[in-house]
């Protein structure tokens, strides 16, 4: 097929090349500046006092002792703040009231709704004094304790304590999908019913750089907030809403960020930080959140419980399906129901079925707040869907891969709401490539034979689809500015932020390609500053590469036209006869090089006849979207008496369209796979059932998987050109995490015969399951072989 994509993909010297990322050198030698590196040494340090009850009313806080400590500047409590509720999630703002995010947060609250809620802040000359202040304050809080609830099913009971008056039954939202007629369809004769409950835990992002921000006054009544955020323009809006002031009074600066994974797609402590600076006459105030508090007081991934029923015909096709899910929101709404809804909406598309009845509830509990996290509901959903698909295959006696190939979204499938379409035979292509890489079919058949002994092996495969970006649910827009320098090089500015994923580098590759410059001439300004950077909503939803592509192409095209128009003045050749190739103005008709872009740029700026600053700026309002697909293959070895799973081999194959930078794309896949391995095997945030206190909110007790827990991670691609996209590409940021846990679950099931319906498959859970299955004798400690 000949693709007229209007850009030089095939012969491109920049697109599709594993070019070294723009920030590699600075990051490798430690020169890249993060929030803390930019903070003035004289900044005041803040520590926050967290509630020690999971639900209650703060009756009083005696600040006297804390304020006596040398170095403590001021103590602010919930009683010092106005009760102006504000929303925090990093969604594009909606101008329609009904679509606006729930405003339920205060800077500091007198009604803590989870163990650890923010009730006061100590501002001190240094961090030691701030910590001393917190210790002095801890026992000075008088609470009226209220009953609390930690589990979603307890929370929806009639007599459960109610977290928010406007949400009876603690239900933040409930949405449904009804296709066909489920109740009638299940009456078909000869159907096989497969039913399962699938539980996924609350986990945390664990980006290396904890959240941090600092704020100071500037000019008349303006405030600057430097923050480790994915969404500077959104944070500016939220600060304005939280402080009930004009949004333009605030300037948010985003330097390099050490990972966000969605946690920083929320306004976290920026509003409080600015407010504290304001109370102190604009002095620079810093909130550096310790790791222990990052686990509790930022955001977490929604734990979720799924109840799935499939009615199967003997030939393996689906007659009817039922879906119920309850997502654990924690104490405040943040991104709210968007997460549970995303998984619900994905289910009837992944395995289409004429008769589908689905319900999803998002439920408040007295726990840390769940928000966005890489995959936005889909690691949860993918686990449940794929575990259930494997259960269906087992019930039918079918090869699970064959069952999936039979029932997955067919080529040509169009989603009515988003107009997304599956253009290529992507699922099968990903399966075929992964099978080839890892030897799935051969190993599956080998491990299917009865195994004995303490150590057994298995292999599994799981897939997913992911709807990238947020159109048509919310606004999709991207703005870009390009400025040409005296030597013909350019700066690119975008609202899409660099958070480690490589957005800056791919933007420069795209611009270089469209204008006709070499990569080294194109520099993306990594730091966003809401006073300087064109408006953009930041990065989330795997949208960066897809959406910024539109504004980069539009802006680069405009800039190129301006350059060629100016070239006419210097070369006397009509612009339509000209092109730019490798930094030269060429005449297309004979390929002759007429002049260098450097000479043109210098002349344009310094000409005494006609001086022009060559710049371009455009906004791309995006009204399309794309499906992203892939699969994970995992081979494991299970040491039954030791209750341990070792991942021997693992490979992810993705179709993210045209790959702009294979090295960065592969790295993105590796990161997602690592996160998926932790999700599958070891990560879970635990809470004391008696108090609601988090138990393992540190990197020792929270078992983030380490480098030593991975085999070599293999990431590969099937590149089906995405026809809706400016550069044929689509999202890859979140997808790699989605299929990993169900693939590992399937592999463990094949090895042991234990189809376990919850993650993580940690040793304590495996111990219980292996004892139940008779694989371990309770007292004997040996495999029953």
Partner 1 sequence: MYDLKALYEAKSVADACQLLTDHPEAQVIAGGSDVLVQMREGKRAGKELVSIYMLDEMRGISIDEDENIRIGSLTSFSNITKNEIIQEKIGVLGEAVNMIGGPQVRAIGTIGGNTCNGVTSADSASTLHAWEAIVEITGTDGVRRIPIKDFYIKAGTVDLKLGEIQTAILIPKESYENCFGHYIKYGKRNALEIANIGCSVNVRLSDDKKTLDRVRIAYGVAGPVPMRAPSAEEFINGKEINDENIKGFAKSVLNDINPRDSWRGAKDFREHMAVVMAERALREAIKKAGGEA
Which residue carries 């906004």 as its tokens? 619
The answer to whether residues 304 and 325 touch, using CB atoms and an 8 Å cutoff, is yes
The correct pick among 22, 705, 725, 729 for binding partner 1 (CB under 8 A) is 705
Which residue carries 């003045």 as its tokens? 569
781 lines the binding site for partner 1 (CB under 8 A): yes
Phi, psi (rounded to 5 degrees) for 562? -65, -40
Nearer to partner 1, 228 or 705 (CB): 705
Binding segment (CB under 8 A) for partner 1, from list 95-103, 131-139, 492-500, 747-755: 131-139
- DSSP bridge pairs for 490: 484, 522
The nearest distance, CB 670 to partner 1, in angstroms, is: 18
Spell out, one character per residue from 586 to 625, where the chain touches partner 1: x when CB under 8 A holds, - when not.
----------------------------------------
71 lines the binding site for partner 1 (CB under 8 A): no
Nearer to partner 1, 69 or 515 (CB): 69
The correct pick among 82, 417, 782, 784 for binding partner 1 (CB under 8 A) is 782
3-state secondary structure of 224: strand
The nearest distance, CB 442 to partner 1, in angstroms, is: 28
* C-alpha closest to that of 578 among 566, 444, 225, 347: 566
3-state secondary structure of 365: coil
The correct pick among 65, 569, 709, 755 for binding partner 1 (CB under 8 A) is 709
191 lines the binding site for partner 1 (CB under 8 A): no
The correct pick among 32, 642, 648, 667 for binding partner 1 (CB under 8 A) is 642
The nearest distance, CB 410 to partner 1, in angstroms, is: 41
The nearest distance, CB 41 to partner 1, in angstroms, is: 12
Nearer to partner 1, 190 or 781 (CB): 781
Which residue carries 């949004």 as its tokens? 247
Handedness of CA 730, 736, 741, 742 (dihedral sign): positive
701 lines the binding site for partner 1 (CB under 8 A): yes
The correct pick among 245, 617, 767, 773 for binding partner 1 (CB under 8 A) is 767
Phi, psi (rounded to 5 degrees) for 197? -110, 130
CA–CA gap between residue 127 and residue 46 (Å, rounded): 7
The nearest distance, CB 132 to partner 1, in angstroms, is: 7
Binding segment (CB under 8 A) for partner 1, from list 35-43, 267-275, 299-307, 700-708: 700-708
The nearest distance, CB 9 to partner 1, in angstroms, is: 42
Binding segment (CB under 8 A) for partner 1, from list 56-64, 113-121, 254-262, 641-649: 641-649
The nearest distance, CB 330 to partner 1, in angstroms, is: 20
Q: What size, in residues, is the chain?
A: 785
Nearer to partner 1, 102 or 124 (CB): 124
708 lines the binding site for partner 1 (CB under 8 A): yes
Site for partner 1 in 199-218 (CB under 8 A): none
Site for partner 1 in 334-393 (CB under 8 A): none
- DSSP bridge pairs for 581: 584
Number of shown-chain residues binding partner 1 (CB under 8 A): 33
CA–CA gap between residue 4 and residue 137 (Å, rounded): 67
Phi, psi (rounded to 5 degrees) for 663? -65, -45
The nearest distance, CB 764 to partner 1, in angstroms, is: 6
Nearer to partner 1, 134 or 300 (CB): 134
Terminal CA-CA length for the chain: 57
Nearer to partner 1, 70 or 591 (CB): 70
The nearest distance, CB 45 to partner 1, in angstroms, is: 9
Cα 604 to Cα 47, 586, 595, 612, 616: the distances in Å are 53, 17, 13, 5, 14
Nearer to partner 1, 29 or 700 (CB): 700
The nearest distance, CB 283 to partner 1, in angstroms, is: 19
Rounded to 5°, angle at Cα 273 from 269 and 274: 125
The nearest distance, CB 779 to partner 1, in angstroms, is: 8
CA–CA gap between residue 747 and residue 766 (Å, rounded): 14
Nearer to partner 1, 183 or 701 (CB): 701
132 lines the binding site for partner 1 (CB under 8 A): yes
Quickly list DSSP for 728-757: SB---SSGGGTTHHHHHHHHHHHHHS----
The correct pick among 445, 561, 706, 784 for binding partner 1 (CB under 8 A) is 706
Which stretches of 521-661 are DSSP H helices? 544-571, 597-606
The nearest distance, CB 4 to partner 1, in angstroms, is: 51
3-state secondary structure of 768: helix
CA–CA gap between residue 393 and residue 564 (Å, rounded): 61
The answer to whether residues 161 and 112 touch, using CB atoms and an 8 Å cutoff, is no
Cα 572 to Cα 565, 568, 595, 626: the distances in Å are 10, 5, 12, 43
472 lines the binding site for partner 1 (CB under 8 A): no
Spell out, one character per residue from 655 to 694, where the chain touches partner 1: x when CB under 8 A holds, - when not.
---------------------------x---x-x------
Q: Cβ neighbours of residue 281 under 8 Å, at least 6 residues apart?
A: 217
Nearer to partner 1, 552 or 640 (CB): 640
The correct pick among 699, 721, 723, 773 for binding partner 1 (CB under 8 A) is 699
Half-sphere exposure (Cβ direction) of 464: Cα atoms closer than 13 Å: 34
The correct pick among 135, 394, 587, 670 for binding partner 1 (CB under 8 A) is 135
The correct pick among 641, 662, 711, 753 for binding partner 1 (CB under 8 A) is 641
Instruction: Indicate the burial class of 720 (C-beta count within 10 angstroms; 0-12, 13-18, 19 or more).
Output: buried
Q: Which residues of 673-711 are buried (b: 16+ CB within 10 A; e: fewer)?
A: bbbbbbbbbbbbbebeeeebbbeebeeeebbbbeeebee
Spell out, one character per residue from 724 to 763, where the chain touches partner 1: x when CB under 8 A holds, - when not.
--------------------------------------xx
40 lines the binding site for partner 1 (CB under 8 A): no
455 lines the binding site for partner 1 (CB under 8 A): no
The answer to whether residues 305 and 198 touch, using CB atoms and an 8 Å cutoff, is yes
The correct pick among 10, 97, 613, 778 for binding partner 1 (CB under 8 A) is 778
The nearest distance, CB 669 to partner 1, in angstroms, is: 22
Half-sphere exposure (Cβ direction) of 27: Cα atoms closer than 13 Å: 17
- DSSP bridge pairs for 635: 459, 649
The answer to whether residues 283 and 270 touch, using CB atoms and an 8 Å cutoff, is no
The correct pick among 65, 125, 127, 218 for binding partner 1 (CB under 8 A) is 127
Rounded to 5°, angle at Cα 570 from 566 and 575: 50
What is the contact surface with partner 1 in residues (CB under 8 A)?
Answer: 126-128, 131-132, 135, 641-643, 682, 686, 688, 695-696, 699-701, 703, 705-709, 762-764, 767, 776, 778-782
């Amino acid at each position: 097929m000949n693709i007229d994509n209007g850009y030089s993909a095939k012969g491109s010297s920049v697109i599709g090349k594993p070019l070294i990322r723009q920030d590699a050198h600075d990051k490798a030698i430690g020169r890249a500046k993060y929030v803390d590196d930019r903070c003035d040494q004289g900044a005041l340090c803040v520590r926050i006092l967290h509630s020690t009850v999971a639900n209650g009313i703060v009756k009083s806080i005696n600040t006297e002792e804390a304020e006596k400590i040398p170095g403590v500047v001021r103590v602010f409590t919930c009683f010092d703040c106005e009760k102006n509720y504000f929303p925090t999630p990093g969604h594009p703002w909606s101008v329609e009231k009904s679509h606006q995010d729930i405003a339920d947060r205060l800077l500091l609250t007198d009604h803590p709704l989870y163990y650890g809620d923010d009730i006061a802040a100590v501002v001190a000359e240094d961090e030691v004094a701030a910590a001393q202040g917190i210790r002095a304050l801890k026992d000075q809080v008088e609470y009226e304790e209220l009953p609390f609830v930690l589990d979603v099913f307890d929370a929806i009971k009639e007599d459960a304590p109610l977290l928010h008056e406007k949400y009876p039954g603690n239900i933040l939202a409930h949405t449904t999908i009804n296709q066909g007629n489920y109740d009638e369809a299940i009456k078909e004769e000869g159907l096989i019913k497969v039913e399962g409950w699938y539980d996924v835990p609350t986990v945390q992002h664990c980006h290396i750089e904890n959240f941090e921000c600092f704020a100071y006054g500037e000019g008349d009544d303006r405030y600057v907030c430097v923050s480790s955020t994915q969404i500077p323009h959104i944070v500016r809006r939220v600060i304005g809403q939280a402080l009930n002031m004009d949004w333009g009074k605030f300037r948010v600066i985003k330097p390099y960020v050490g990972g966000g994974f969605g946690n920083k797609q929320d306004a976290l402590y920026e509003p409080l930080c600015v407010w504290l600076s304001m109370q102190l006459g604009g002095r620079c105030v810093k909130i550096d959140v310790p790791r222990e508090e990052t686990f509790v007081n930022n955001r977490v991934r929604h734990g979720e419980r799924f109840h799935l029923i499939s009615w199967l015909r003997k030939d393996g096709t689906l007659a009817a399906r039922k879906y119920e899910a309850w997502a654990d929101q924690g104490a405040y709404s943040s991104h709210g129901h968007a997460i549970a809804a995303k998984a619900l909406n994905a289910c009837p598309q992944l395995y289409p079925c004429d008769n589908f009845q689905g319900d999803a509830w998002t439920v408040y509990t007295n726990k840390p707040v769940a928000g966005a996290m890489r995959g936005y509901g889909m690691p949860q959903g993918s686990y449940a869907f794929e575990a259930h698909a494997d259960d269906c295959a087992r019930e039918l006696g079918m090869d699970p891969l064959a069952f999936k190939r039979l029932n997955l979204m067919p080529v040509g499938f169009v989603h009515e709401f988003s107009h997304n379409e599956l253009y290529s035979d992507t699922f099968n292509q990903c399966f075929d490539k992964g099978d080839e890489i890892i030897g799935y079919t051969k190993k599956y058949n080998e491990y299917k034979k009865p195994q004995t002994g303490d150590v057994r092996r298995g292999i599994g495969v799981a897939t997913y689809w992911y709807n990238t970006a947020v159109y048509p649910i919310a606004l999709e827009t991207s703005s870009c500015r390009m400025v040409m320098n005296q030597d013909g090089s350019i700066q690119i500015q975008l609202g899409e932020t660099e958070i480690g994923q490589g957005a800056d580098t791919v933007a420069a590759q795209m611009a270089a390609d469209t204008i006709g410059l070499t990569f080294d001439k194109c520099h993306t300004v990594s730091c966003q500053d809401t006073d300087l950077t064109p408006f953009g909503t930041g990065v989330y939803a795997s949208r960066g590469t897809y959406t910024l592509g539109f504004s980069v192409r539009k802006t680069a095209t405009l800039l190129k036209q301006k350059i060629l128009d100016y070239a006419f003045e210097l070369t006397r050749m009509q612009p339509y006869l000209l092109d730019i190739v490798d930094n030269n103005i060429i005449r297309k008709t004979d390929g002759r090089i007429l002049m260098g872009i450097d000479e043109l740029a210098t002349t344009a700026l310094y000409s005494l006849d006609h001086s022009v600053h060559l710049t371009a700026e455009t906004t791309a309002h995006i009204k399309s979207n794309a499906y992203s697909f892939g699969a994970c293959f995992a081979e494991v070895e299970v040491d039954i008496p030791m209750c341990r799973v070792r991942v021997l081999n693992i490979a992810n194959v993705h179709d993210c369209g045209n790959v702009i930078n294979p090295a960065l794309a592969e790295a993105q896949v590796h990161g997602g796979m690592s996160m998926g391995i932790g999700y599958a095997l070891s990560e879970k945030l635990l809470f004391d059932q008696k108090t609601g206190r988090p138990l393992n909110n540190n990197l020792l007790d929270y078992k983030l998987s380490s480098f030593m827990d991975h085999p070599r991670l293999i990431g590969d691609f099937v590149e089906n050109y995405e026809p809706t996209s400016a550069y044929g590409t689509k999202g890859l940021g979140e997808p790699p995490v989605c299929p990993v846990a169900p693939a590992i679950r399937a592999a463990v099931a094949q090895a042991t015969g234990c189809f376990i319906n919850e993650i993580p498959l940690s040793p304590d859970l495996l111990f219980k399951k292996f004892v139940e299955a008779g694989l371990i004798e309770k007292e004997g400690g040996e495999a029953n072989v």
